[in-house]
Amino acid sequence: MTTVEDLPAAGKQPKSTRARILDVVRWVAILLVLGFAAKQLAANWGEFWHTLRDVAWESSLLSLAALVAAILVSTWGWQMMVDDLGEPIGYARGAQICLVGSLGKYVPGSVWAYLLQMELGRKAGLARARIFTGSLIQLGVGVVSALVVSLLAAPAVFSNSPRALWLFVLIPLGLAMLHPKILTWGTSLVLRILRRPPLQHPLGRRVIGKVFGASTAAWCLQGVHLWLLANSVGAPGLGGFVLCVGAMAVAMTVGTFAFILPSGVGVREVAQVAVLTASGLTVGQATAFAVASRVMFTVADLLTAGFAAVAARSARSAATSA
């Protein structure tokens, strides 16, 4: 019996008007996101270079490398989660969707990152619900991981912000929510409320453990990034390293929930300054390093997203020509 595969290869079917409009909308969205990221980069560039003049270039380079590594590790955790929800997509393909889509966080209202990821996933032939579910679960697991890691900075955080106690009260609840049965039930409930298809199978300990481990490794690498900057002026030392790891976990968690602001702008820096001053830096130094950290985050986001887009395009070209 003749199958579709047996028929002579025909030319590509012309895109429908709707498909062409969606392509234009996607490109406009990506350009808009890049514009917001570039605007934030330009706004802090002067102070960024002024700060780095007192930092050894080796420390600056290693600090940026630590951020890039943190982003790549976190992306691997996201890909593992998405792979568990369907056919494996591979790291190159997953990184393009995750990293390019994540740039949407620079647009006020961080929900744009998730919308862009869903659209990029749909363009790659994946269901929007699958991408959304993967991102939703990774966010929840990542927040619990951050709460646990943030205990490292507890003394500094409490001394500067007593109201932050509520963060640590949530840790036992968060850990309980990571039980496969509870996390599966909670995810299914959210999907039902949003009128999305339910999970095809229960979540397993193995995939939850991978996502939790990737998130924890990412927080630690972000702490390495901040410590390398601050330690260049001889203040934090080894004890400050532990504080920096906890500080980044607190800062990124609080920034995640400040969804009205682009990429948690302002909120993240408050947590960073609080911990850096507790480790021996002056308020001026701590503020300068917090601003430098934000700029380096933007640079790392743009670098990894650009690399992922090029890598995914090259992989598609190689598959087509094979």
Q: Are 81 and 207 in contact (CB under 8 A)?
A: yes
Residue range 286-297, pLDDT digits in tens: 777 777 888 888
In a domain, residue 148? The reply is: yes
Is 268 within the bounds of a domain? yes
Q: How many domains does one find in the chain?
A: 1
Tell whether 312 is covered by a domain. yes
- Distance, CA of 135 to CA of 130 (rounded, Å): 9
Identity of residue 39 = K
pLDDT at 102: 84
- As a whole number, the mean pLDDT across the chain is 75
Q: Is 314 helix (H, G, I), strand (E, B) or coil?
A: helix
Tell me which residue of 70, 44, 46, 60 sits closest to 231, measured CA to CA: 60
CB atoms within 10 A of CB 92: 16
Q: What is the reported pTM? A: 0.77
Element (H, E) at 164: none
pLDDT per residue as tens digits for the range 96-137: 899 888 887 777 666 777 888 888 888 888 888 889 899 989
In a domain, 227, yes or no: yes
Integer Cα distance of 126 and 134 in angstroms: 12
pLDDT digits (tens, 9 = 90+) for 40-97: 545 555 555 555 666 677 878 898 999 999 999 999 999 999 999 888 888 888 888 9
Is 126 part of any domain?
Answer: yes
Which residues does 279 contact at the CB level (< 8 Å), separation at least 6? 156, 230, 235, 236, 237, 239, 240, 243, 244
**What range defines the domain where residue 230 resides?**
55-316
Q: What angle do CA 106, 61, 276 make, to 5 degrees?
A: 70
CA distance 73 to 224: 14
Helix (H, G, I), strand (E, B) or coil at 74: helix
Query: Rounded to whole angstroms, how far apart are CA atoms 299 and 101?
Result: 15
Dihedral sign, Cα of residue 89, residue 95, residue 96, residue 101? positive
For residue 146, tell me if it sits in a domain: yes
Within-domain flag for 44: no
